[in-house]
Amino acid sequence: MPDELHHLPLIHQVLEHERHKPGALLPILHAIQNGLGYVPDTAVPEIAHALNLSLAEVRGVISFYHDFRTTPPARHTLRLCQAESCRSRGAEALAAQVREQLGVDDHGTTADGALSLRPVYCLGACACSPALELDGKLHARLTPERLRELVAGCMTEVTA
Amino acid sequence: MKLFISCDSLARAVGADDLVEALLGEAERRQVKLDIQRTSSRGLYWLEPLVEIDSEQGRLGFGPIDSADAASLLDALASADCQHPQALGLVEDIPYLKSQQRLLFARAGITRPTSLDDYRANGGFEGLAKAALMPTEQVVTEVLDSGLRGRGGAAFPAGIKWRTVREAQATQKYIVCNADEGDSGTFADRMLMEGDPFLLIEGMLIAGLAVGASMGYIYVRSEYPDAIAALNEAIIIAREAGYLDSTGSGVAFDLEVRVGAGAYICGEETALLESLEGKRGIVRAKPPLPALEGLFGLPTLVHNVLTLASVPIIMARGAQYYRDFGMGRSLGTLPFQLAGNVRQGGLVERAFGLTLRELVEGYGGGTASGRPLKAAQVGGPLGAWVPPEHFDTPLDYEAFAAIGAMLGHGGVVVADHTLNLAGMARFAMQFCAEESCGKCTPCRIGSTRGIEVVDRIIASTDAGEREDHANLLRDLCDTMQYGSLCAMGGMTAYPVASALKHFPADFGLATQEAAQ
């Protein structure tokens, strides 16, 4: 575990800013994750103390929601839609292709830490399925070739 | 030269930004002055990126335009007759659009999303102006009389909720907008929030006025970053213009956007309230109704985006105008969303009552793959798979309930013959297992058992054994439907049971009659 104490200033800043909001826990977790890329373990007691919650309550919320992560993210995050609309246009085959190309399973990260693969259930791009989101950017009318290109782009950039 | 190109996230996902860049570059080379206005999307997504230009008759359209076509498009626009292979003529005359009845999406593709001037110049805030002059009781009566029902899926009469919250006694009440549009095949909420955020703000303002709430929250799923940004920007503009107030002086209503965190269950209203309170999204037992004990235990009006956004038009034009659209008890319009394996995917706002066939074959133009149509899932991942023999059913809440399906939020996912519905039944169970909040047993455990039973049906080589497992699956669907606490477990039975009933061959089962 890397030394996470250097994250404390940002965590305190977020808490100072957000703690007085009604129902502040989700906005706090989002703000920390936006700033650091994940919610480090050191944040948990700080949040619990600021909101007068137990550690279990804070951890329970972090683990309940798919978005919150407790480890640093890969350089790139690929979220491939696996919901009905995209499935009707071949999303399962696309998922198999990308798993093979990367050699990782869903929720997995490549060994070099370049890219992590996450399934997502609907990006609201259903009129032009299949769709994916790469580092926050939406791509629709996806073809196997385009997907291969996007993934390859992430991999070469890191090794370069 | 002034062009209009959408800034909708899906238009951008298919190349609208690249096109704008290419056009600007090409115009600079030609030393032509080019003004590109980024508007909302018309919802004719198969034509995106769509470029529009003013003419004497109205806006002319060109689409879909690839960024490689930038030069040829500028050539065409500079010529007298605007000839281009992708020319569509007058946009308003495209049959797909012309035949629609756009009340909610009247400004779609026309205005810039966060321009208050555009909004006001196109009917914006007329509803609020009228509502502000009425006694609050009459505002509630208008909503009741309009016949508006909750657009999130449950279709509960909106006015009754309004009356309940209005009559509740409390020092603080809330308006909560459920913008956690997690259903696959639906994107109307996203389009509206990204493209016309002031409409949602106006609807929430009127609701706040009518029921006596001073604070509103819009809970948006994190998968919609553009909608979140548009709403946040619009809220700041509305505050500066004096429509909203965070200081507690002047108008007594303010709004805040809250962002979800990837939990489908938070689209269920009580789980959403828990999440807003900063907790895990665990479903609450009802009663107490959220209208009486909602957010932080206080009276709360919870509505879907489209429900709240319908209110300004009801106030501006009157309840009678609104209820003249639709059929039976399904009044007004519903923005249907055509998605999946469909040639012309997009948004179709029509009064209730057109048939599923008109929607899928007429508007959709059949499958994108060109292969025969197999089924359409109506109403999101918890909706039934409807076989073509039921496609003449009118799109009406009651008519769909009568065939064991539901309209839900109006999303329609089309599938061709290559999609195996046993696989989709398994997926429905898997999705439920992944997204269940875990509070009630039928949903939490039933979904996992469901995956196993579907797997056993698919793997079994013995026909009699497959029938036994199928009966077990039917039983399980029954238990989940009637025993679950909320629609998550309760309606997972719909896609599974409908697949089993209408497409037994996909499970290796004998035909329907023999199976029963």
Q: Which among A22, A68, A124 is the nearest to B224, CB-wise?
A: A124
Asked if A25 has any chain B CB less than 8 Å from its own CB, the reply is yes
* ipTM summary value: 0.96
pLDDT on residue A156: 82
Say what the pTM is: 0.96
Q: How far is CA B359 from CA B14, B94, B362, B425, in A?
A: 24, 16, 5, 24
Residues A142-152 have pLDDT tens digits of 999 999 999 99
CA atoms within 13 A on the CB side of B145: 13
CA closest to A129 among chain B residues:
B340
Q: Which residue has the tokens 């309230």?
A: B273
Contact A125 B427 (CB under 8 A): no
pLDDT value of residue A158: 46
Coil/strand/helix, residue B149: strand
Mark yes or no for CB contact A88/B222 under 8 Å.
no
Shortest CA distance from A85: residue in chain B:
B340
pLDDT tens digits for range A84-96: 999 999 999 999 9
Closest alpha carbon within chain A to B337: A127
Q: Which two tokens stand for residue B135?
A: 């006694």
Asked if A48 reaches chain B (Cβ–Cβ under 8 Å), the answer is no
The DSSP output letter for A140 is: -
Q: Do B263 and A85 make contact, defined as CB atoms within 8 angstroms?
A: no
Provide the pLDDT for residue A5.
Answer: 86
Q: How far apart are CA A8 and CA B438, in angstroms?
A: 34
> Using the beta-carbon criterion (under 8 Å), do B262 and A66 form an inter-chain contact?
yes
Q: What is the sign, positive or negative, of the torsion defined by CA atoms of A91, A94, A95, A96?
A: positive
Q: How confident is the model at residue A159 (pLDDT cuts 50, 70, 90)?
A: very low
Selecting from A88, A121, A138 the residue whose C-beta is nearest the C-beta of B340 gives A88
Q: Which residues of A touch B381 (CB under 8 A)?
A: 83-84, 121
Q: CB-based contact (8 Å) between A52 and chain B?
A: no
Cβ–Cβ gap B261/A126 under 8 Å: no
Phi, psi of B336 (to 5 degrees): -80, 150
Residues in A touching B186 (Cβ below 8 Å): 122, 124, 126
B279–A61 C-beta distance less than 8 A: yes
**CA dist B344 to B190, B258, B464, Å?**
19, 33, 43
Q: How many CB pairs under 8 A join A and B?
A: 149
Find the residue in A nearest to B273 (Cα): A23
Residue A127 is nearest to which of B261, B338, B377, comparing CB atoms? B338
Instruction: Count how many residues are written for chain A.
Output: 160
CB contact under 8 A, A126 and B187: yes
Question: Is the bond preceding B64 in cis, omega lying within 30 degrees of 0?
Answer: yes
Task: Answer yes or no: do A126 and B345 touch at CB < 8 A.
Answer: yes
Instruction: Give the pLDDT score at B249.
Output: 53
Which residues lie below 8 Å from residue B375, measured CB to CB, with a gap of 6+?
B385, B386, B387, B388, B415, B419, B421, B502, B503
User: Sorting pLDDT into bands at 50, 70 and 90, what band is A157?
Assistant: low
Distance CA B290, CA B513 (A): 44
Residue in A84, A121, A140 closest to B413 by CB: A84
Minimum-distance CB partner of A140 among B14, B258, B416: B14
Mean pLDDT of successive 10-residue stretches along chain B, which has 516 residues = 97 98 97 96 98 95 97 93 94 98 98 98 97 96 98 95 97 97 94 98 97 97 97 97 75 92 97 98 96 98 98 98 97 97 98 98 97 96 96 97 95 97 97 96 98 97 96 98 96 97 95 53
Please name the residue that has the structure tokens 């399962």.
A92
Return the pLDDT at B516: 45
Percentage helix, strand, coil, to 5, in chain A?
A: 50, 10, 40
One-letter amino acid at B196 equals D
Whether the CB of A88 is below 8 Å from some CB of chain B: the reply is yes
